[in-house]
Structures are given as structure tokens and as C-alpha cells.
Chain A
């Protein structure tokens, strides 16, 4: 009963006989919830729920709650829409996870919040800016471990062919190496991280038993593993294979095989083992001239490759190209805005403006009449007789 919840002690000593206060619930009398606005309460509850679902350490919850408090007290978040305020809790959890290098992707948080990624993104960026939070970049190594946890290929099941089941530790280890390779060869910077991990996982899984798995496509692999196939994963796979092929061209005993995108998978183990050496010999440093690049590895003769563009100078070693991000290797054709001409620079802003130039932008009276008619026709075509439509619509 209420009587039991009301703190009595002191008050009874002060006024023993007359009731000096009415009986209220403990939480109300202590004003525990009074101080917090409803938004803040909701925000805190959202944080607590998310931390529970994601099974985060307790300290994460404390940090995230403090961020929510700071954010809601910040003037720039006072007037933000309720829809955005709903996402604040999730953003704070996301930031906390990243600061502790807990690999949580935005995609995951958005799906847990049923939020549109653009809206989440804008709330997140505002939060980061207004609270001046420094958020470290997502750790790919941790992401590999977390993401592979959701793959369903590590235990036998009725719908998975026996040769497709693989040892989890092996897949994780090799996927890490391939992701590192991708990072070293500029395939990661500026790209969505998850598709890279998906493509790397596929290659790693294939290469562990190529005989039975080469025929399996990326799409089928994802379906079997019960994971989403993000669209960029196909492109990442293509880029990874290209890098691997270039590396393979530097291994003497592989050159004879004339490897292609399928067969190179069989040798991924070897390629990863010698990747440091192979990267050095397959690619020249970013700022080297293409001419120097064309010289066969080991030869110190920049002059000999004079005139030869990529690969002209080396007979069998394969072309060496500079190690560059794909956007620089295959630049999309783009209209370059012309540099300001001399006449452009001479503009003062105070030039006289001729009447003629302005009048070209004005409608003459005939034109205005015709335009008015056309507007009326467009507004209510059914009310006007057909001949009118024919004459006024130019």
C-alpha cells in the first residue's frame, strides 16, 4: 500500500499528530523523474535497450547516457524534430561503441532503430560536431570477426553441402589477411567496409578448398551463409582478384600457369604468404614515373624504358603499374570546369548593364497573353472547348 512507500521518519517527529503532507508515491516525492524531461527519459531508455540487445559492457551504457544528456541540453538539439530526437539514443550508443573500438556498423544500428540511414547520418554528424566528439575510425579487423560471426558456414546443416562447411578460425584468419591486403592496395579507403569483408570472406572460403568451391558464385555463397550480399561486393571481388593476379605474375612458378580470375584462387595461400615481396615487385611506389615502372623488377635502368609506357620494357614479368586507388587508375571521364580565363578575372562587378541584355529576359505583351492562356488551359482543360486548346497551346 502507499503507506508503506512513503518515508515517514523525520516528518512524524516534526508534526506527530497533524498530517503535514499527503501520501504520494516514492518516486514522485523524491522528484526522481521530475528533473528529467520526457525526451531524456526516452533517450535513456533507448540507450539501455540497445545496450541490452547488443550485449554491451555496462560502462558503455553510462557513457552513452551521459552523451544523451549532454546532447539534449545542447541548444542545437532542443528544437530538433522528435523523429531526430528518437535517433539520438542510438547515435550515442554508436559513438560509444566506436570510441571503445567495438565494431558496430551504422547499418546495424539503423536496422535496430528502424531508421533511415540519411536521417541517422545527419543526426550523427550533428552530434559529433556539436559535442565535439572525436570518433575513431571503424576497426576493420574487429569488423571481420563480428561480421563472420553471422555467417552460417561453420557448422553442418541439411541445406549446406558437406564440402562447403569450413573451419571458422581458418576463414577468419585468411579473411583478415585479405582485408589487410585490400587496405594496403587502396581498395578500402573511402569505400563501404562491409562489402569488402564479404568479398574477402568469399575468397578466403573458396581458397581453402578450391576444388569443390570454385564453381560456387558470390551470390550463392551469401545465400548459403544466410548473409546479405551488398551490391558493391561484386566490384570489390573483381578488384581483389585483379590485385591477386598482378601479384601472381611476380611468382616465377605461377607465371607458367597463365592464371585467370578463377584459377588464381587456388594460389591465394601462397600469394598471401609472400604478399609483402609480391606487392613490392608488382607495383611501383605511387610517385614513380611510368617509365621507371616499366623496367623489369631488379633492373636499375630507368633509361632503358624510355618511350615505353606500361610494360613495354619487361618481357615476362608483367606490367608494373603504380599502386594507386582505383579511382585514379580508372578515372571516370569528367567534364573539367575550365579555369577562369583572363576576361573572367577582369570582371569588376561594377560593369554597366545594358538595357538590351536585361530585356532579353522579359516577356513581351503578346507572349504574356499566350502564356496566360496556356496556364489557364493547363489548369482546367476539361472546362474549355477543344478549339481553344488548339489555338492557345503553342
Chain B
């Protein structure tokens, strides 16, 4: 599995999400503490909305999903971040001064929210400590799963913006299937990227089966071209990824009966109906299917970062079960 490049892509995406950070360099402690990582949400919740975050924080924490909180306490976490960041400061020589090292105390982490928001231009020296920039996950190495979910299916929609004669399309296209009595759309398939499209007479189209967002877009464009070549004035409007499905394997068996006990509000485990446990994660809004074999399916994402985030949230919970059993 080409895990590292996928992870890099994900991390680059997170970098791009930073509104405040203007620094293109990755290894800088000046990038502010608002990267979109799971640990982030914990910090948000606990440090309160004094942070000037680009995202909205829930003021009512009762609905916040804290189910992914790992075993270590908040202080430990802050310490770890501090330690890691401290190493970073040492490596980037030159900019640290004696004054700045006085900032590098435990209190600084916890006092950070009270301080004015650090900006890259702040007072010459390094701003108060921030976690390591996105090249490695914010969570300390022992916590990050090292497993990257693989995308299995992308569902996207696009508007061809013209009325279509489905019977005509089914007659003149080789790769089309049309049974109006069964379903009111043409089912079309192409070989590369290997996908299926549902084309409706309104001009709307659904594209399924691709393994990446880009492949889904390319496939949708090819279907649009087929429709164009059949003589319709097809456009390519409002292309949108509607759903992404990923899967992975934690490599150990899971006691689903136990998981449903401790995470009742999020879990549905009905062996009479389905062998897996259905876990409805609140943040991000992802549904996970967890099986006794340790295989996990994640679905409901609009962006791949949600899949990765959801898995990183669930992994410590599942690992906790491994030790308990």
C-alpha cells in the first residue's frame, strides 16, 4: 500500500486549510495551533473557545464526541507536545533566544489560550510553543495507528444540464443498459477508470466505483463526453463528491459486545441483523462498520480527511479493547 504518499496528501490538505498560517514551510513552530487533527478537537473542547479558531467551537459540549479520548491524561499530552516542540526549537537554531526559552515551560501550554493569538510576525522571537507542524501527526508516535485506510468507493454527482433521450442513448451506446420498468435511468459503464454511471433523463448523473476523487472526476468527464458524442449538448456542472468509502484492518480481533457496552450512545450491535457493529461517529460525521476480525469500513465522508480522522479517532478505542479482552 502506498501509504506514505496518501498520508502526505492528507497532511498537505490540512496545511491548505490553515487560514492563519502563511508559512509554506512545514517544519516551523510558527504555524499556529489550529491544524485539523483529532487531538485538536480535544484541545479545543478543554481549552475553551478562547482560542481564535477558524472553526466554530461548540459552546455546549454535551453533544461533542469525546469518545476518541485516548488513555493518557491531558497533562501528559501537553507535556508530550511540549517535549516534541522543544526538540524542534533546538533543531531550528538561531531563532531561539534566552527569553524564548522561558516561554517553554509547562504553564505556557496551558496558559496559551489566555495569551494573545500568536502570529508569525509576533515580536521577533518564536511565539509560544505549538505542536510539531504537519509532517508527522500531532499525536505522539506511540499513539498514531500507522494504518492508513484505503479508499474503496467514491460516489459523485454532476449535472449535464440538458434533457436526455435515454432510449436513444441506450440504442446508440455499447456500454449502456436501460430497463425503464425496473429503473428510470441508463446504466453506463467504462473500463478506465472502472466505474458505473446512472444517467437520468433530467441530465443529472451519478458516478460510482472510483477509488479516488480524481478518478471519479475523470470518469464523470468521460461519461459526459460519451453523452456529448451522442449528440446532446452536455455540460459538466456542479461536480460534487457525495460519499467516500474506505476500509482497513487493525490486525487484532475486537470484542464487539464490550464496545457496545462502553460506547452505547454511538454504537448499534445487533448480531441478529448484521455481524458488525455500526458506530456513528459525531465528529467527523462518519459511520464505521466494525467487525470481530478487526476489519473496519468507514463511510459517509465528503472528504478523505474525514475518513483518516475518523479512523485515528476509533483506533485508540479499539486498541483499548484489545488489552481489556
Q: A358-B229, A362-B174 are in contact. Are A340 and B150 (CB under 8 A)?
A: yes
- Indicate whether A286 reaches chain B with its CB closer than 8 angstroms: yes
Could you tell me if A325 and B173 are in contact, using CB atoms closer than 8 angstroms?
no
Looking at the complex, which one of A128, A134, A190, A345 makes contact with B292 (CB distance below 8 Å)? A190
Could you tell me if A325 and B293 are in contact, using CB atoms closer than 8 angstroms?
yes
Q: How large is the interface on B (under 10, 10 to 19, 20 to 34, 35 or more residues)?
A: 35 or more
Could you tell me if A190 and B253 are in contact, using CB atoms closer than 8 angstroms?
no
Interface-facing stretch out of B38-46, B83-91, B136-144, B216-224: B216-224
Cβ distance B162 to chain A, nearest Cβ, rounded Å? 17
By CB atoms of chain A within 10 A, which of B175, B272, B276 has the most?
B272
Chain A hits for B261, CB < 8 A: 136-137
Looking at the complex, which one of B212, B216, B265 makes contact with A345 (CB distance below 8 Å)? B212
- Indicate whether B215 reaches chain A with its CB closer than 8 angstroms: yes
For the complex, give the distance between the alpha carbons of A348 and B150 in Å: 18
Could you tell me if B174 and A190 are in contact, using CB atoms closer than 8 angstroms?
no
Could you tell me if B230 and A362 are in contact, using CB atoms closer than 8 angstroms?
yes
- Indicate whether A129 reaches chain B with its CB closer than 8 angstroms: yes
Chain A hits for B213, CB < 8 A: 349
Could you tell me if A353 and B292 are in contact, using CB atoms closer than 8 angstroms?
no
Chain B hits for A192, CB < 8 A: 271-272
For the complex, give the distance between the alpha carbons of A341 and B212 in Å: 12
Could you tell me if B215 and A344 are in contact, using CB atoms closer than 8 angstroms?
yes
Q: Which partner residue on chain B sits nearest A105 by CB separation? A: B272
For the complex, give the distance between the alpha carbons of A347 and B256 in Å: 38
Cβ distance B213 to chain A, nearest Cβ, rounded Å? 7
Could you tell me if B215 and A339 are in contact, using CB atoms closer than 8 angstroms?
no
Could you tell me if A137 and B269 are in contact, using CB atoms closer than 8 angstroms?
yes
Within 8 A of B (CB), among A323-344: 324-325, 327-328, 337, 339-342, 344
Interface of A is mostly: loop
Chain B hits for A191, CB < 8 A: 271, 275
Could you tell me if A358 and B222 are in contact, using CB atoms closer than 8 angstroms?
yes
- Indicate whether B304 reaches chain A with its CB closer than 8 angstroms: no
Chain A hits for B182, CB < 8 A: none
For the complex, give the distance between the alpha carbons of A350 and B214 in Å: 8
- Indicate whether A351 reaches chain B with its CB closer than 8 angstroms: yes
Q: Which partner residue on chain B sits nearest A191 by CB separation? A: B271
Chain B hits for A339, CB < 8 A: 1-2, 150
Within 8 A of A (CB), among B177-220: 190, 193, 211-218
Looking at the complex, which one of B171, B193, B268, B293 makes contact with A371 (CB distance below 8 Å)? B171
Could you tell me if B214 and A363 are in contact, using CB atoms closer than 8 angstroms?
no
Could you tell me if B174 and A358 are in contact, using CB atoms closer than 8 angstroms?
no
Q: Mark B262-287, 1 if CB is under 8 A from A, else 0.
A: 00110011111101101010000000
For the complex, give the distance between the alpha carbons of A93 and B111 in Å: 52
- Indicate whether A189 reaches chain B with its CB closer than 8 angstroms: yes
Looking at the complex, which one of A105, A324, A363, A372 makes contact with B173 (CB distance below 8 Å)? A363
Cβ distance B96 to chain A, nearest Cβ, rounded Å? 38
- Indicate whether A357 reaches chain B with its CB closer than 8 angstroms: yes
Cβ distance B4 to chain A, nearest Cβ, rounded Å? 11
Looking at the complex, which one of A106, A124, A136, A359 makes contact with B264 (CB distance below 8 Å)? A136
Within 8 A of B (CB), among A130-177: 132, 134-138
- Indicate whether A186 reaches chain B with its CB closer than 8 angstroms: yes
Looking at the complex, which one of A106, A287, A349 makes contact with B215 (CB distance below 8 Å)? A349
Cβ distance A236 to chain B, nearest Cβ, rounded Å? 12
Q: Mark B135-170, 1 if CB is under 8 A from A, else 0.
A: 000000000000000111000000000000000000
Cβ distance A304 to chain B, nearest Cβ, rounded Å? 26
- Indicate whether A107 reaches chain B with its CB closer than 8 angstroms: yes
- Indicate whether A121 reaches chain B with its CB closer than 8 angstroms: yes
Within 8 A of B (CB), among A95-136: 105-107, 117, 121, 124-125, 128-129, 132, 134-136
By CB atoms of chain B within 10 A, which of A134, A186, A361, A371 has the most?
A361
Cβ distance B181 to chain A, nearest Cβ, rounded Å? 14
For the complex, give the distance between the alpha carbons of A137 and B229 in Å: 56
Chain A hits for B112, CB < 8 A: none
Chain A hits for B265, CB < 8 A: 132, 134
Could you tell me if B215 and A347 are in contact, using CB atoms closer than 8 angstroms?
yes
Could you tell me if A106 and B193 are in contact, using CB atoms closer than 8 angstroms?
no
Q: Which partner residue on chain A sits nearest B255 by CB separation? A: A189
Q: A190-B292, A340-B2 are in contact. Are A128 and B268 (CB under 8 A)?
A: yes
- Indicate whether A193 reaches chain B with its CB closer than 8 angstroms: yes
Chain B hits for A138, CB < 8 A: 271-272
Chain A hits for B212, CB < 8 A: 340, 344-345, 347
For the complex, give the distance between the alpha carbons of A54 and B241 in Å: 48
- Indicate whether A368 reaches chain B with its CB closer than 8 angstroms: yes
For the complex, give the distance between the alpha carbons of A372 and B294 in Å: 52
Could you tell me if B252 and A345 are in contact, using CB atoms closer than 8 angstroms?
no
For the complex, give the distance between the alpha carbons of A106 and B225 in Å: 50
For the complex, give the distance between the alpha carbons of A393 and B284 in Å: 55
Q: Which partner residue on chain A sits nearest B280 by CB separation? A: A129
Could you tell me if A361 and B256 are in contact, using CB atoms closer than 8 angstroms?
no
Chain B hits for A137, CB < 8 A: 257, 260-261, 269
Chain A hits for B278, CB < 8 A: 125
Chain B hits for A372, CB < 8 A: 171
Within 8 A of A (CB), among B234-254: 252-254
Q: A129-B280, A137-B260, A344-B212 are in contact. Are A363 and B252 (CB under 8 A)?
A: no
Interface contacts beyond A106-B270, A189-B271, A349-B218: sample of 6 additional A-B pairs, CB < 8 Å, sorted by A: A137-B269, A183-B257, A189-B253, A190-B271, A328-B253, A344-B211
The 8 closest A-B pairs by CB, nearest first: A349-B217, A190-B275, A349-B214, A134-B264, A339-B1, A189-B292, A190-B292, A347-B214
A binding-site residues for B, Cβ under 8 Å? 105-107, 117, 121, 124-125, 128-129, 132, 134-138, 183, 186, 188-193, 286-287, 324-325, 327-328, 337, 339-342, 344-345, 347-351, 353, 355, 357-363, 367-368, 371-372
